[in-house]
Structure 1
């Protein structure tokens, strides 16, 4: 005889043509529901991963992986030997000095706040991708003493300037003049425009040559800090601690996860809440198995009684219906995982086809900087979704199987 008996009978019940077609229909709905829930969850998580990855890349194309600065908020006067020291570290890919100030940019009656950063163009290439994001002019136009400035696209649009126009940079530092204390200001020539695709930079950032910035801020030969690019951006918290230890704790070291912690925490919370919401779809489909098995148990009362009279233990009877419900959940899970991964890997052409057929735009390029749906399928998400769905399916079999195991043979066969 086929062993184990519970597996044989449970699989036979799953394959058999039941007299009650409604039960078969409910079983099919349970499988389809589990599969659709898993597909939706995998696709949504993959798209969210793609968005997060895209946003992180855009942020880190301008922001450094880590920054060294004076712990007391002043400038660094020993930045040249510091550069050589950190560049010798095996986990540092590049390093560049900078000066930075929150100032105001003015063109006529139009005034806007902005983060003004002074850079050395060639050095900046080691830690950021400003050169790649230029849509007008060149980073190399930032020459010492010429007082040129590169603006974000949205900032230039708000000020109404283009390459060749003049803007006035006003800083919080003050100078004593015969007319009294006045803020420091300087006329700069717009030499270029960049576009990162992030409003934080395109609307609020401007770049000048580091020497021009030092003159404007009265820093002399000092700089505000040193920006670092690391071998592994995801290991930045650990690497910056090692670098700070190697430097003897003489500098304030901040990595990108600290600078943008609120933003990335919000993204992580959004993904977590979306996962919970979509898991409810899978849970509803999984617990349809309960109603399916309850009806099967009711329909098979006489069969259960015969098995009991032939010596089947309650545990073996319970195993029969657990196998049947688990088979339903396993089929739905496998179909959902395969379909979800395939759709997630091809979500961009699928969305493009839908847009072409129906003439709609899910991400209007005139509104959103990202005009296509990026997708990043991660194995851990697929395994987590599939495992959770299958586990819920197994749990859903316990109550109906327990009821079957409690069937009284004499009572079930009384009217047979």
Structure 2
């Protein structure tokens, strides 16, 4: 171990006569640790939020959809077979999408109505795994059953076995004028995917019932597709165009939710910049700390110079001292931030119990808990940035110490 390292370690451990310097040094280390920990926790929460929302969205939506240019797909059986021929496609299922009003006992709710094939639908989405009461196979052709979210059922005041009226926007001409089409359905099941938007505004009926109700004949709105790798959806979509007719439009999950995921990405980038500035402020507190240390150690520097230490050695001593403070702060921040981020599911309920309030409301934030996803790439990037900032903060004080002349330093000793 070089003498520069030994002296730097001694300066870090030493109890100086000027306690204020020690206090400023401690504050700098704590500031770096808190900034690093905060950055890790915030990015982990944002990663978790994005992952959780994506998972819940794809629990109801699909990786990819093939639909007709006019909103209807006639030869959907051939399209489904063509899509299933790609080895990256896991499953396919036809669907009908439409808007409607559900009413019961004076309560009315707007809803997205989806006609599904109960046998094929579980292959493309996992709504069936979130059923609270009943199951998708309870939807029978001609039975006019309906499965809806628990929040919608609560708003309508209905449960399994109760009747609801479905009013479609496509009216019918009668001698009395245009009248809306209305059909009574029986609630066959309830689901809860954990995303308020779907739990309160989404319902499913049998595919043949939807075709009859919305006057589609044998047509469907399109075919939904599940892929082996959801992140490959844009590339798979591009390749599948060669398999389907020209009148088929392919849309992947990134197209359907582009604005949301773009907003999350921008927010994550801005939060990274803001919290990095906090780390930078803490790191550059090392400048004032090291300047005061250099002033405090003028005599030591002069003695080392007279003993033969070069200006470069003096500079390395104080650079190592500042770098050690940066390393201690960064390591402490990384350890604390990762530990908290990994245990947020235990920490948040305690905070909620102490405050007597719920931090996340599902009707505002789309989910009702605080997710966390610690990613190694984020943690390593944050640690490297903090260490670099701490290193750059040592350059000026170290250079100033190296330029100090022994005679000038000892003049007033």
Fold shared by both chains (TM-score > 0.5): yes
CA contact (8 A) 1:363 1:370 kept: no
Structure 1 gaps of 5+ residues are: none
Residue 226 of structure 1, CA deviation:
0.4
The residue aligned with 1:184 is: 181
Asked whether 1:218 is paired with 2:215, we answer yes
TM-score where L is the length of structure 1: 0.90
Show the 5 A alignment for 1:4-403.
6-70=4-68, 72-247=69-244, 250-309=247-306, 312-352=309-349, 358=354, 360=356, 362-363=358-359, 372-403=369-400
Range that drifts further, 344-353 or 112-121: 344-353
Residue 80 of structure 1, CA deviation:
0.9
Distance in 2 between the 1:157 and 1:55 partners? 23
Range that drifts further, 119-128 or 163-172: 163-172
Distance in 2 between the 1:283 and 1:142 partners? 59
Range that drifts further, 295-304 or 223-232: 295-304
Q: Secondary structure at the match of 2:111?
A: strand
CA contact (8 A) 2:95 2:114 kept: yes
Query: Structure 1 residues 379, 270: CA separation in 2 closer, same or farther (over 3 Å shift)?
Result: same
Residue 8 of structure 1, CA deviation:
4.2
Distance in 1 between the 2:326 and 2:384 partners? 11
Residue 381 of structure 1, CA deviation:
1.4
> How many aligned residue pairs are there?
412
Aligned Cα root-mean-square deviation (Å): 2.5
Distance in 2 between the 1:345 and 1:109 partners? 47
TM-score where L is the length of structure 2: 0.91
Q: Secondary structure at the match of 2:412?
A: coil
Q: Secondary structure at the match of 1:18?
A: coil
Distance in 2 between the 1:148 and 1:334 partners? 58
Residue 136 of structure 1, CA deviation:
2.3
Distance in 1 between the 2:82 and 2:317 partners? 69
Range that drifts further, 111-120 or 34-43: 34-43
Query: Structure 1 residues 39, 308: CA separation in 2 closer, same or farther (over 3 Å shift)?
Result: same
Distance in 1 between the 2:347 and 2:96 partners? 46
Residue 312 of structure 1, CA deviation:
4.4
Distance in 2 between the 1:287 and 1:249 partners? 61
Distance in 2 between the 1:218 and 1:354 partners? 53
Distance in 2 between the 1:252 and 1:326 partners? 57
1:351-408 deviation line (CA, Å, top 9, x unaligned) = 445566x474554789888555432211111111111111111111122122223323
1:246-265 deviation line (CA, Å, top 9, x unaligned) = 43655211111111122222
CA contact (8 A) 1:347 1:373 kept: yes
Distance in 2 between the 1:198 and 1:342 partners? 27
Q: Secondary structure at the match of 2:124?
A: coil
Residue 41 of structure 1, CA deviation:
2.3
